[in-house]
Amino acid sequence: MLKEGEVMSTTLMTTATHQGGVRLKTAASIEELEELGRKRPFLEPGLPAPASLSPRHPTPTGTSQTNPPSGIGGHPGGAPTATATMTWVGLVRPDPTQVAALARTFGWHELLVEDLTQANPRPKLERYGQTLFLVLRPAIYRDDTEEVQFGEIHVVIGPGYAVTLRHADAPDLARVRGRVEGDPDLLALGPKAVMYACADAVVDAYSPVATGLEQDIEEIEVEVFSGTTGVSRRIYELSQEVADFQRAIRSTRRIVRDLIEDGTRYRVPEGLTSYLGDVQDHIVQLAERVDQAHASLRDILIVNGTLTSQRQNEEMRALSIQNGEENEQMRRISAWAAVALVPTLLTGVWGMNFTHMPELHWAWAYPAAMGVMVVASFAVWLVFKRKRWI
């Protein structure tokens, strides 16, 4: 795995039949790289040193160079015919001092240096003279938090060199380096083969992320139809993660398409187009999967809203029925209480034990009192009966 400040310098020995050997040399520090730049300008593999130089892209010695022809060794399609040298510098989370040293060594544009020292929210591809600047957004999926975590990889491609600045834990660029070194035909395509290999590694790492999202969406579908509480929040948060991942895929897809369709502008070797086509196929498949995941979440959210409304309506209906039954019981209790109130009131009046209550001494007073209570109670009962309270 690349160490902090590790520098890779790869020398490619090729023949006209694309056969040769690869030797890896590693500089110990940025200072060694600067010394390498002072001794030998960085050129396209297999090209002789130019007589005149462009002021837009100065070399470490203060001179400048013209744009060399596409390919390696000046042959269309990158067919090498002579010894070619390519330097690959790989840094992990470099500090501004290291970036400044690289800028001095390779003569980078000030706007490029500014881009290298700040975060980029989306993948992008920019050109500064002969230098290409590619931003990739590698991603990993944290299933425990259901979060897509993005990193950032900067790839700077220039005449005879490739620089990778990794601000992420994955992918492992040491494995990418091993893949490039193990494929002479790919390595023969020069620095832009490094750009392809990094993009391919990032796109390959997108597949487990898409799989993780799809699995969580299936879990959400089960929760929605089982009536699990709190699932709406989970749907919304996962939708945000899918949307962020969708933007990264679309931007990367656009970059790969531009490299294929506008290869002349970006000086892409003809032999690299088929490799980029394979990356495009993979990312198109990923885009379809993520688009489907986003659509599924949108549909699930609608279904969840519908089911939630149905459950709420059923709860309100049940509550209304319960309230109706309670009201019916209260009416019955109130009606019988009113019926019982009549004899209670009369007995209360006659039970006050005043000295002068003549009706208490009447012979027919008791039957009359009982009759009044019965008639009055029956009248009250009849009223509530007609109102259907009893």
- Dihedral of CA atoms 35, 23, 108, 113 in degrees, nearest 10, equals -100
Q: Is the pLDDT of residue 198 over 90?
A: yes
Q: Is the pLDDT of residue 282 over 90?
A: yes
| Residues sharing a CB contact under 8 Å with residue 215, sequence separation 6 or more, in sequence order | 143
Q: Is the pLDDT of residue 16 over 60?
A: no
Q: What is the CATH number of the domain that holds 31?
A: 3.30.460.20
Burial per residue of 317-352, b for 16 or more beta-carbon CB atoms within 10 angstroms, e otherwise: eeeeeeeeeeeeeeeeeebeebbeebbeebeeeeee
42-56, 98-112, 368-382: which has the highest mean pLDDT? Answer: 98-112
3-state SS, 153-189, equals EEEEEECCEEEEEEECCCCCHHHHHHHHHCCHHHHCC
301, 222 contact by CB (below 8 A)? no
| Residues sharing a CB contact under 8 Å with residue 359, sequence separation 6 or more, in sequence order | 350, 365, 368, 369
d(CA 117, CA 179): 28
In a domain, 177, yes or no: yes
Q: What is the mean pLDDT of the chain?
A: 77
In a domain, 100, yes or no: yes
176, 167 contact by CB (below 8 A)? no
**Among 171, 164, 135, 140, which residue's Cα sits nearest to residue 152?**
135
In a domain, 312, yes or no: no
In a domain, 52, yes or no: yes
Q: Mean pLDDT, to the nearest integer, of 137-159?
A: 92
Q: Mean pLDDT, to the nearest integer, of 89-117?
A: 88
CB atoms within 10 A of CB 177: 20
Q: Mean pLDDT, to the nearest integer, of 289-294?
A: 94
Assign residue 74 a region (left: φ > 0; alpha: ψ between -120 and 50; beta: otherwise): left
Residue with the two structure tokens 């029956």: 378
Provide the pLDDT confidence category of residue 195 given band limits of 50, 70 and 90: very high
In a domain, 277, yes or no: yes
Instruction: Identify the domain containing residue 69 by its residue range.
Output: 7-305
Q: Is the pLDDT of residue 155 over 50?
A: yes
Token pair, residue 201, equals 């590694």
What does DSSP say about strands 161-167 and 84-92: parallel, antiparallel, or unpaired?
parallel
104 CB-contact burial (10 Å; exposed 0-12 / middle 13-18 / buried 19+): middle
**Among 176, 16, 21, which residue's Cα sits nearest to residue 90?**
176
Provide the pLDDT confidence category of residue 5 given band limits of 50, 70 and 90: very low
d(CA 62, CA 73): 24
120 CB-contact burial (10 Å; exposed 0-12 / middle 13-18 / buried 19+): middle
**How much is the pLDDT for 2?**
39
In a domain, 323, yes or no: no
Using one digit for the tens of pLDDT, what is the confidence trace for 34-77?
A: 555 554 444 444 333 333 223 233 333 332 333 333 333 333 34
User: For the chain, where are the alpha helices, taking DSSP H only?
Assistant: 30-39, 96-106, 110-116, 173-181, 184-187, 191-226, 231-261, 273-350, 365-386
What predicted TM-score, i.e. pTM, was given to this entire model? 0.67
Q: Is the dihedral of CA 295, 296, 297, 300 positive or negative?
A: positive
**How much is the pLDDT for 75?**
38
In a domain, 380, yes or no: no
Cα–Cα distance list, 8 to 20, 93, 156, 176 (Å)? 19, 16, 14, 12
In a domain, 322, yes or no: no
Total structural domains in the chain? Answer: 1
Least confident of 48-57, 167-176, 280-289, 306-315: 48-57
d(CA 277, CA 309): 48
Using one digit for the tens of pLDDT, what is the confidence trace for 340-359?
A: 888 888 787 777 777 677 77
Q: Which residue has the higher pLDDT, 279 or 317?
A: 279
AA identity, residue 358: P
**How much is the pLDDT for 272?**
92
| Residues sharing a CB contact under 8 Å with residue 133, sequence separation 6 or more, in sequence order | 112, 115, 116, 125, 126, 127, 154, 155, 156, 157
**How much is the pLDDT for 243?**
94
Least confident of 169-173, 244-248, 266-270, 274-278: 169-173
Q: Is the pLDDT of residue 115 over 90?
A: no
